């Protein structure tokens, strides 16, 4: 069980100000990791820094220049980041026929493009110093099965699941592991607009064999496992945390 500890590791968690990101960051801190958390909002970033005793990190994940500034700031710390949780994400629930070009770009720029460029920037720094690295991407069951009103979101998460495999394949020789977890509907601010619709919530719940929606804490264990030495031979995998939603 010692292998599950993260003492001595420095982990970056994007979107750590609330909901799933905050729960993940708290859980990794409890396991001994030094947590660096980001937020798009500067005030929230300051609160995150105070919570974990690390620098305030404000970043817009949809902007590659903002991501590079973040990585430059992180590289000024010695030792630097050696683990990454790509949690920051955007969802704009909408029937497919109503999705605008701007909404599509908003979802993809954060969920897929931003994750890609942050991962590659950190991986490059790890390769330059021959460092071991571990990345966990937060995907979604919506990237595995079709869910109504999730055209842009589901497509971005499906892309992220496949991107996880490609990066894992390319970076394995550099001792950089890349994995993902795909949660079901987790009770957070992001899902509130969906789960607050009674008929929709009842329909979605009927698709989960275990019979309940997820809580942020349900995801923490899988993320910690994949980051840790306990998963040292695991790379390129996407673990579904869905209560059985994707069985069918």
* E strand or H helix at 91: none
Cα distances (Å, whole numbers) of residue 134 to 37, 72, 229: 16, 19, 10
Q: Are strands 10-13 and 34-39 parallel, antiparallel or unpaired?
A: parallel
- Coil/strand/helix, residue 14: coil
Q: What is the DSSP letter of 2?
A: G
Q: Are strands 176-183 and 34-39 parallel, antiparallel or unpaired?
A: unpaired
- Coil/strand/helix, residue 78: coil
* E strand or H helix at 221: helix 217-227
Q: What residues are annotated to the active site? A: 153
């Amino acid at each position: 069980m010692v292998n599950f500890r993260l003492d001595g590791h420095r982990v970056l968690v994007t979107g750590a100000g609330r909901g799933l990101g905050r729960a993940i960051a708290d859980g990794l801190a409890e396991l001994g990791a030094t947590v660096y958390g980001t937020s798009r909002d500067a005030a929230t970033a300051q609160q995150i820094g105070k919570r974990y005793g690390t620098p305030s990190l404000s970043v817009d994940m949809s902007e590659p220049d903002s991501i590079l500034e973040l990585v430059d700031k992180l590289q000024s710390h010695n030792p630097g980041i050696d683990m990454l949780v790509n949690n920051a994400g955007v969802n704009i629930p909408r029937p497919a026929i109503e999705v605008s070009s701007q909404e599509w770009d908003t979802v993809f720029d954060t969920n897929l493009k931003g994750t890609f460029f942050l991962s590659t920037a950190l991986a490059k720094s790890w390769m330059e110093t021959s460092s071991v690295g571990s990345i966990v991407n937060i995907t979604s069951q919506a990237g595995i099965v079709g869910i109504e009103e999730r055209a842009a979101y589901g497509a971005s998460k499906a892309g992220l699941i496949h991107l996880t495999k490609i990066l894992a394949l390319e970076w394995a020789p550099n001792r950089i592991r890349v994995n993902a977890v795909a949660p079901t509907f987790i009770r957070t601010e992001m899902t509130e607009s969906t789960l607050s619709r009674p008929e929709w919530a009842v329909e979605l719940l009927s698709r989960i064999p275990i019979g309940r929606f997820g809580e942020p804490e349900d995801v923490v264990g899988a993320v910690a496992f994949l980051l840790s030495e306990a998963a040292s031979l695991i790379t390129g995998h996407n673990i579904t945390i869905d209560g059985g939603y994707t069985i069918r």
